[in-house]
Amino acid sequence: MPNDLRTRLKGYLSDEELKLIRAFDIVGDIAIVKLPPRLLPKKHLIGKALLEVQKNVRTVLNQISPVKGDFRTRELEVIAGEERTETIHRESGCSFKVDLRKVYFSPRLAAERLRVAKQVEPGEVVVNLFAGVGSYSIIIARHSQAAVIYSIDINPAAFEYMQTNIRINKVADRVVPILGDAREVVEKRLAGKADRVLMPLPELSHDFFGVALSALKPTGGIVHFYDYGEEPDIYGPSLDFVRSNAAAQGLEIKLLAARKIRSYAVRCYHIVLDLKVSRPEI
Ligand SMILES: C[S@@+](CC[C@H](N)C(=O)[O-])C[C@H]1O[C@@H](n2cnc3c(N)ncnc32)[C@H](O)[C@@H]1O
């Protein structure tokens, strides 16, 4: 919690209560807090204090459910400021219009999105299996010379915002938005096309790893495999999984990089493996 927010709330909240306020996210001009039940009676006070210390914030939302469901959305309530959940967020020179109630968006993935974008080579065909409002895809388009980035999402609202964001960021010549289930879309339209596949949905990465492999060109390519890992062996189980699945299809995996993106519980991490997939010469 920033010090000025702590100072502003001193006297209204006990020291115990102050300790319960955790880091909050800012998306565009909206701040999102996750208040524990004990602080709910003081939610409007906390929201107002946040509006006062964060001059660019116009609305404060409290997250009242975990991120859930196929669309990875969450329930939010306005606790201070303007009654809205739509905003425009700026990241890495791009703008993303989002409605935080209707779509998934996390500003905490900014560094990861840029890291992936910087690896993309000129002329690559990229397939993003879980594209959301287009954040990875548009940042790749703006920071690389990829030939085309196919961007799939199953949530109609995310698809609509993705179309808007493609227009706002002027990348319609290279980012192709597709509404649908990634498995069906790859089977019907994208099998064997990709130099690089992104799988930014850890909950489905095991189920969809075969889909990612089938999207790659016959000679192989790169897969960014997002997963969860726990200490002491953070990457081992994910690596065993991808290696054995690839081997069953006659493919080899070389690990290019393994990174923790953020921790989500004690000793548990959201991770990414950058994998080079190739078909060994017979
Ligand atoms: C964690 S979000 C990632 C969004 C985006 N990559 C980002 O970083 O902002 C996962 C997205 O996958 C989408 N999704 C879930 N199941 C899907 C499926 N079977 N096919 C395509 N998209 C799916 C959800 O609607 C959601 O927008």
pLDDT in tens, 102-138: 999 999 999 999 999 999 999 999 999 999 999 999 9
Query: Which atom of ligand 1 approaches the CA of 152 most closely?
Result: 21
If you measure from the C-alpha of residue 104 to the centroid of ligand 1, how many angstroms do you get, rounded to a whole number?
8
If you measure from the C-alpha of residue 52 to the centroid of ligand 1, how many angstroms do you get, rounded to a whole number?
34
pTM: 0.96
The reported pLDDT for the residue numbered 280 is 87
If you measure from the C-alpha of residue 77 to the centroid of ligand 1, how many angstroms do you get, rounded to a whole number?
23
The CATH number linked to 21 is: 3.30.300.110
Domain match, 109 and 183 both: yes
Domain match, 77 and 123 both: no
Pocket of ligand 1 (CB under 6 A): 70-72, 104-105, 109, 130-132, 135-136, 152-155, 158, 181-182, 200-201, 204
Domain with 75, as residue range(s), is: 3-84
Which of residues 49, 84, 119 is at a domain's end?
Answer: 84
Domain match, 186 and 248 both: yes
Query: pLDDT-based confidence at 264, cuts 50/70/90?
Result: confident
Q: Considering its fold, how many domains does the chain have in total?
A: 2
Residue nearest to atom 25 of ligand 1 (CA): 71
Domain match, 110 and 202 both: yes
The H-or-E segment that residue 128 falls in is strand 125-128
Q: CA 171 to CA 168: how far, in whole Å?
A: 8
* CB-count exposure of residue 279 (10 Å: 0-12, 13-18, 19+): middle
Domain match, 157 and 239 both: yes
